[in-house]
Amino acid sequence: MSIWRTVATPAELNDRGSRTLPGYLGIRVIEIGADYLRATMPVNEHTHQPFGVLHGGASVALAETAGSLAAMLCVDPEHMALGQDINANHLRSISSGLVIATARPFHIGRTSHVWHIEIRDEQERLVCVSRLTMAVVERRAKP
């Protein structure tokens, strides 16, 4: 059984983020399963820290992007999900290739969500784990 309240394709989500941080970092949604969302990000000069390995902040940006998009698909159109708290444990360094984030819910509530995001390399080795808390709020009319 699917957890999603809104149906979207990876292409629609990628287009939505193309001119924002996810687009500039090369983050791409690649799969939406019944209870997870998967996204990738290249590990290159745009996502490296000065020592030539994946920047922890880039990993957090990938985790928050995957979790935020997943949360957005779980709320009705009158509401939106906004990041409230995120933590990350960086477990393995990587200097090239792709990292793949998979976001799955721990909790989907009326006013908050908690998401678990695992980031793995192309050999499926765990690079980073993250927990993201989202606040669910009513959308306000634009002024």
Which are the catalytic amino acids?
64
- Give the containing element (helix H, strand E) for 131: strand 126-138
| Strands in 5-125 per DSSP E | 28-32, 37-43, 79-90, 97-108, 112-121
- Give the containing element (helix H, strand E) for 10: helix 10-16
Alpha carbons 65 and 86: distance in angstroms, whole number: 11
φ and ψ at residue 91, rounded to 5 degrees: -110, -25
